[in-house]
Amino acid sequence: MLPDKKGHFGIFGGKYVIETLMPALDELEKAYHEAKGDRAFHRELHRYLSEYAGRPTPLYFAKRLTEKLGGARIYLKREDLCHTGAHKINNTLGQLLLTKRMGKKRVIAETGAGQHGVATATAAALFGIECEIFMGEEDIERQALNVFRMKLLGAKVTPVSSGTKTLKDAMNEALRNWITTVRNTHYVVGSTAGPHPYPMMVRDFQSVIGHETKLQIIAREGRLPDYLVACVGGGSNAMGLFHSFYNDRDVKFIGVEAAGYGLNTDHHGASLARGKLGVLHGSMSYVLQDEDGQIKPAHSISAGLDYPGVGPEHGYYKSTKRAKYVSATDKEALNAFELLSKTEGIIPALESAHAIAYTSKIAKKLKKDKIIVVSLSGRGDKDVNQVAKMIGVKL
Amino acid sequence: MGRIEDRFNELKKRNEKALIAFISAGDPDIETTKDLVLEMDKRGADIIELGVPFSDPLADGPTIQKSYLRALKKRVSLKKILKMVKELRHKTQIPIVLMSSYNPVYRYGENKFVRDAVSAGVDGVIIPDMPPEESGYLWARSYRKWLNTIFLLAPTSNDERIKLICKMSRGFIYYVSVTGITGERKLLSKDIEGMIKKIRQSTDLPLAVGFGISTPQQAKEIASCADGIIVGSAIVRIIEKHALSKNGLIGDVGDFIKSLKNAIRHE
């Protein structure tokens, strides 16, 4: 079972952080292992997931979309129906319960699209814990609604003006803040990225997605799906969906990265397709970087995929060919955003629209008896303003 | 014996403490960095620590972040920095230590880095985001080639980690004086002396204290309990002030180095 004791998935992962944080990571790892073996912790988490976050989320057969594409049967795992509108709450509830267990009084988090920020602020409000969210200035502009939601939830939102002013820089600043406040603060990393134990822990908390999917698809179709499709920025919703199927070798995993303006431009977020091995934010994985190892800025229409790194376990899946990683451009994502809205009455998050975009490409080429499950990781309300602006509609 | 060990031994004989001066390599440009190294050597610095610019330095505050960005605009790279050290070695034998984030070193190739650093005349390397747990490959190669791998200890380090780092570190141990990132601070933590005493029980290596020291007065206080002090952001700030014109830069940095060294000379 990966990762190994030091947090490595093959050559990926690890703990590349300054000494100041090492004891906190050790403490977190220990607390997490204890919680993992504690039934009371699981019961409590389960209670919050079902009574508060609204789990299990439905596995919905997208009949009209399936008919329109004329190929494989498409199911949507409706993480958009979770409380706060995305899968992020699965992880923040787990980590906030852990924060309480460790006796820490404050949490911090980075956010790109604002979904993880909102989910952290929500769980912090639920447990009465002080919360500060770091968010790039450019994302604050793109996601004004989520900024206001976080503030309503009692969180302090700190704008980050360094670097590209997006998710990468928000994570830099959150880590710097953690180096200073580590004695009383827990850092709620929002993706399967960062130093060990985060990639493992976030994966475990998100695995509820795949676990439910497995039971639901068997109940519905009497068999496992042929394909699982999910968007990959840092990679938490994808890993959450994939992980429970790891040993089911006939189930193919497809991760969809952001191709931005196109993979052959310098404006995309496809770390797995175009990155090289390196260390960003505490772990070894694929990173968009230049010859000298300087991190290159990423680009995506969706703030949540606008990240030059990717979780280490995805790096491992790529190198062992357990998963296939593809990409969808900004334009394809926008088309998918409209397609799903019009055919199913579901407005997807721009992140999830990348998964829909690739699904619509392959579904039509597949036979009608094939099954695809797509992770609809979040709802698109947060993106409506941005999309209107992009297609030239004044609200 | 290496230059770092020699330097600490000489200082010990003279009952002096080491002044370790940090600047970002290539800020404002490589030629000026060379002049700054020679000036700091002349004015009393004992060891030079050269920062390798990185786009996303996690342990650094705004002052050093900005100086790295200035250097990166000039397209400074690890390769150019090693070439610069090689050229400096014709003029000075002051111990030189590189401080780099892990990624530029990894991208350069760890094996090649150790080989090229040693042949350029680099004496040690500090990689803040490479704890002993992740250092196996680089450590083994450095050990064989006599490149000192210097590890950090922090106020949060527990007994177990103190033992581990004392065992792995070479040249000296870098004690991070604050729970935080680099940058000048008005007040330094009060428990530095206690931690230094505790670390001493596990090692005979020299202990240098850095992060936050910015005035001669602070230098003097810290030097009373350590073997060396590291000053970075305060020097980089002088360079930043001269960002538009280099007039007077070298002299100002030299004067500041002299004031720091005078403050710790007779401790």
Render pLDDT for B173-230 as a digit per residue (tens, 0 to 9): 999 999 999 998 887 777 899 999 999 999 999 999 999 999 999 999 999 999 999 9
Residues A376-394 have a mean pLDDT of 92
Kindly tell me if the per-residue pLDDT of A170 is higher than 60: yes
Q: Catalytic: which of A77, A88, A318, A382?
A: A88
What pairs with residue B208 in β-bridges?
Answer: B174, B228
Asked if B105 is an interface residue toward chain A (Cβ–Cβ < 8 A), one would say yes
- From A294, which residue of chain B is nearest by alpha-carbon distance? B55
Q: Is B41 helix (H, G, I), strand (E, B) or coil?
A: helix
User: Would you state the pLDDT for residue B188?
Assistant: 78
> What is the interface size between A and B, counted as CB pairs within 8 Å?
118
Could you confirm whether A110 is annotated as catalytic? yes
Name every chain B residue with its beta carbon within 8 A of the beta carbon of A277.
106
Kindly tell me if the per-residue pLDDT of B12 is higher than 80: yes
Name every chain A residue with its beta carbon within 8 A of the beta carbon of B108.
292-293
Contact assignment for B179 to A15 by CB distance below 8 Å: no
Contact assignment for B176 to A20 by CB distance below 8 Å: yes
DSSP state of B205: S
Q: How far is A281 from chain B (nearest CA, A)?
A: 8
* Chain centroid, CA A36 distance in Å: 21
Task: Please identify, in words, the CATH class of the domain defined by B3-264.
Answer: alpha beta
pLDDT tens track for B145-174: 999 999 999 999 999 999 999 999 999 999
User: Would you state the pLDDT for residue B96?
Assistant: 98
Contact assignment for A293 to B108 by CB distance below 8 Å: yes
- From B73, which residue of chain A is nearest by alpha-carbon distance? A294
* Domain extent listing, chain B: 3-264
Q: What is the interface pTM, i.e. ipTM, of the complex?
A: 0.96
User: Would you state the pLDDT for residue B86?
Assistant: 98
Name every chain B residue with its beta carbon within 8 A of the beta carbon of A22.
131, 133, 154, 156-157, 161
Q: Are A123 and A93 in contact (CB under 8 A)?
A: yes
Name every chain A residue with its beta carbon within 8 A of the beta carbon of B191.
none
Name every chain B residue with its beta carbon within 8 A of the beta carbon of A20.
59, 152, 154-156, 176, 179-180
Q: How far is A4 from chain B (nearest CA, A)?
A: 13
Contact assignment for A292 to B79 by CB distance below 8 Å: yes
Asked if A23 is an interface residue toward chain B (Cβ–Cβ < 8 A), one would say yes
Q: A residues 261-280 near B, CB within 8 Å?
A: 276-280
Q: Is B150 helix (H, G, I), strand (E, B) or coil?
A: strand
Q: How confident is the model at residue B1 (pLDDT cuts 50, 70, 90)?
A: low
pLDDT tens track for B51-72: 999 999 999 999 999 999 999 9
- From A176, which residue of chain B is nearest by alpha-carbon distance? B58
d(CA A37, CA A101): 13
A142 against A121, higher pLDDT = A121
Q: What is the percentage of chain A residues whose pLDDT exceeds 70?
A: 100
Contact assignment for A293 to B106 by CB distance below 8 Å: yes
- From B132, which residue of chain A is nearest by alpha-carbon distance? A19
Name every chain B residue with its beta carbon within 8 A of the beta carbon of A18.
58-59, 128-129, 131, 152, 154, 176
CB atoms within 10 A of CB A57: 23
Q: Is the dihedral of CA A348, A353, A356, A361 positive or negative?
A: positive
Q: How confident is the model at residue A141 (pLDDT cuts 50, 70, 90)?
A: confident
d(CA A56, CA A49): 8
Q: How far is A191 from chain B (nearest CA, A)?
A: 18
User: Which residue shows structure tokens 């230590």?
Assistant: B97
Residues A139-158 have a mean pLDDT of 93
User: Would you state the pLDDT for residue A1?
Assistant: 79
Q: How confident is the model at residue A164 (pLDDT cuts 50, 70, 90)?
A: confident
pLDDT tens track for A242-281: 999 999 999 999 999 999 999 999 999 999 999 999 999 9
Q: How far is B170 from chain A (nearest CA, A)?
A: 16
B-interface mutation test, from A292, A295, A307, most B Cβ less than 10 A away: A292
Kindly tell me if the per-residue pLDDT of B267 is higher than 90: no
Kindly tell me if the per-residue pLDDT of B120 is higher than 90: yes
Residues A146-172 have a mean pLDDT of 94
**Mean pLDDT score of chain B:** 95
Closest CA to A354 of A140, A113, A67, A72: A113
Q: CA triplet A177, A182, A187: central angle to 5 degrees?
A: 70
Asked if A193 is an interface residue toward chain B (Cβ–Cβ < 8 A), one would say no
Residues A26-44 have a mean pLDDT of 97
d(CA A125, CA B146): 54
- From A18, which residue of chain B is nearest by alpha-carbon distance? B129
Residues 6 or more apart from B194 whose CB is under 8 A from it? none
**Mean pLDDT score of chain A:** 96
User: Would you state the pLDDT for residue A36?
Assistant: 96
Kindly tell me if the per-residue pLDDT of A323 is higher than 80: yes
User: Would you state the pLDDT for residue B266?
Assistant: 65
The model's pTM is 0.96
d(CA A140, CA A195): 26
Q: Catalytic: which of A110, A132, A212, A313?
A: A110
A-interface mutation test, from B69, B103, B127, most A Cβ less than 10 A away: B103
Q: Catalytic: which of A138, A332, A377, A382?
A: A377
Closest CA to B60 of A193, A175, A293, A159: A175
User: Which residue shows structure tokens 């004086």?
Assistant: B177
Closest in A24, A287, A292 to B156, CB measured: A24
SS (H, E, C) chain A: CCCCCCCEECCEECCCCCHHHHHHHHHHHHHHHHHHCCHHHHHHHHHHHHHHCCCCCCEEECHHHHHHHCCCEEEEECHHHCHHHECHHHHHHHHHHHHHHHCCCEEEEEECCCHHHHHHHHHHHHHCCEEEEEEEHHHHHHCHHHHHHHHHCCCEEEEECCCCCCHHHHHHHHHHHHHHHCCCEEECCCCCCCCCCHHHHHHHHHCHHHHHHHHHHHHHHCCCCCEEEEECCCCHHHHHHHHHHCCCCCCEEEEEEEEECCCCCCCCCCHHHHCEEEEECCEEEEECECCCCCECCCCCCCHHHCCCCCCHHHHHHHHCCCEEEEEEEHHHHHHHHHHHHHHHCCCECHHHHHHHHHHHHHHCCCCCCCEEEEECCEECHHHHHHHHHHCCCCC
Q: How far is B179 from chain A (nearest CA, A)?
A: 5
Asked if A293 is an interface residue toward chain B (Cβ–Cβ < 8 A), one would say yes
